[in-house]
């Protein structure tokens, strides 16, 4: 059953994690819809897919995506919150760049893995599947399957900083708490060498340490 819209809508400014990279914004050159995959396929992970992909990838390497940034911009009403008490999770929003993980799926497994990922990521339609060009840690540019946020969807969140803290403290859904989701994201950013970001600061504030 489709999620219903929470009664409290908070819409002002976007909060984004620019990965402390200092890299300039570049245009979005993504194609408008997924294309048929030939051979092995890469999946770009920037949130929960980094620590819980739901499958065993044939390879798992660092990758940089330009033109999109990691942002706490999605109200969660299933996995990290409910309709009545939503949480807050990550989306890929326009602008900047994002360091994440590229997960390689064998071509023979792609149809099954794609169906599994889409079932997990697309229940409410707030994410849009796209093939985007990412740079792997060896410098190779490859197309990667990724989920970007739909800015026209009601779950796309543009809120005040204090409201972000409240949503992260209150949210709890099928996958656990919104706070633990944020902590997992921060842990994996740190492991990739990003030790100072808006998400690190946000976690300290959620935990009352800032």
Q: State the pLDDT confidence band at 210, using cuts at 50, 70 and 90.
A: low
Q: Kindly report, residue by residue over 97-130, the tens digit of the pLDDT.
A: 999 999 999 999 999 999 999 999 999 999 999 9
Residue 12, pLDDT score: 34
Do the Cβ atoms of 88 and 168 come closer than 8 Å?
A: yes
Q: Residue 131: how many CB atoms within 10 A of its CB?
A: 20
Domains for the chain: give ranges and CATH numbers. Answer: 16-206 (3.10.490.10)
Q: Kindly report, residue by residue over 38-90, the tens digit of the pLDDT.
A: 599 999 999 999 999 999 999 999 999 999 999 999 999 999 999 999 999 99
Higher pLDDT, 2 or 92: 92
Closest CA to 181 of 84, 64, 98, 72: 72
Angle at 112 between CA 109 and CA 115, to 5 degrees: 140
| List of residues 6+ apart from 191 with CB closer than 8 A | none
Q: Residue 84: how many CB atoms within 10 A of its CB?
A: 9
């Amino acid at each position: 059953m489709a999620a219903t819209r929470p009664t409290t809508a908070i819409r002002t400014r976007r909060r984004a994690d620019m990965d402390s990279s200092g890299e300039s914004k570049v245009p979005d050159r993504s194609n408008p819809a997924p294309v048929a995959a030939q051979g092995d396929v890469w999946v770009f992970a920037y949130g929960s897919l980094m620590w819980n992909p739901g499958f065993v990838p044939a390879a798992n390497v660092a990758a940089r995506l330009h033109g999109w940034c990691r942002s706490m911009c999605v109200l969660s009403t299933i996995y990290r919150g409910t309709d009545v008490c939503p949480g807050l999770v990550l989306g890929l929003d326009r602008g900047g760049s994002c360091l994440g993980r590229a997960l390689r799926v064998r071509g023979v497994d792609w149809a099954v893995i794609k169906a599994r990922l889409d079932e997990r990521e697309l229940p409410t339609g707030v994410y849009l599947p796209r093939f985007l060009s990412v740079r792997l840690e060896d410098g190779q540019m490859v197309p990667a399957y990724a989920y970007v946020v739909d800015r026209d969807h009601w779950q796309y969140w543009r809120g005040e900083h204090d409201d972000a803290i409240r949503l992260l403290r209150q949210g709890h859904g099928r996958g656990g708490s919104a706070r633990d989701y944020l902590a997992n994201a921060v842990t994996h950013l740190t492991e990739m060498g990003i030790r100072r970001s808006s998400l690190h600061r946000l976690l300290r504030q959620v935990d009352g340490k800032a």
